[in-house]
Amino acid sequence: MRLVGIGIVFISCTLAGFVLDSYERKRLTELEQFVYIFELLRAEIEYRLTPLEEACYVMTQFASFAIGKVWEDFANLLKGKQSVNVTQMWEEALMGSKIYFHLKDKDYEILESFGKACGYLDKNMQSRNIDMLIVRLKEELEKAKVQYEKQGKLNRSLGILVGACLSLFLI
């Protein structure tokens, strides 16, 4: 019975390290997807001259479930015109899907900046705003990649090491 307990402790610590690693990997994937979607949005607004509401519906086709849900909620809020403030609508759509994301507070700050300058500007200003947002997201993505390279292997190894140490201590 004691060996089973020791095995459970070892396995749970090891899995905790791998879960931390996968959380960061998912964050990287989500940031990459947001960059891709904002590049598509910029092209949709700039070249196809699509209004913001329709462009948001188009983005749902190219996005993963959680990111697509943000764009769908935002488009529905724009369509329903439940508020005059586009910033509030964007934040509401973003926070409504927050449970699906693995993003950090800094990432949310960058994403919220989109809502502060969209909707009421002309096409050129919206395009510049999206360009600025893409640059900020790419910078955050590069920082996250560097951190993941340092922390990813450490999290996995540390989980195994802590599990082994606790197991030896329990023996």
Q: Give the sign of the dihedral formed by CA 85, CA 139, CA 18, CA 161.
A: negative
134 or 45, higher pLDDT? 134
> 88-141, pLDDT tens digit by residue?
899 999 999 899 999 999 999 999 989 887 766 677 888 888 999 999 999 999
Contacts 24+ apart (CB under 8 A), 143-147: 144/24, 144/27, 144/28, 144/31, 145/28, 147/24
Output the pLDDT for position 141: 96
d(CA 129, CA 135): 10
Average pLDDT estimate for 36-46: 91
* Residue 83 per-residue DSSP state: -
Question: Is residue 80 within 8 Å of 93, Cβ to Cβ?
Answer: no
The model's pTM: 0.86
Picking from 12-16, 28-32, 49-53, which range would have the lowest pLDDT averaged per residue?
Answer: 49-53
| Percent of the chain's residues with pLDDT above 70 | 97
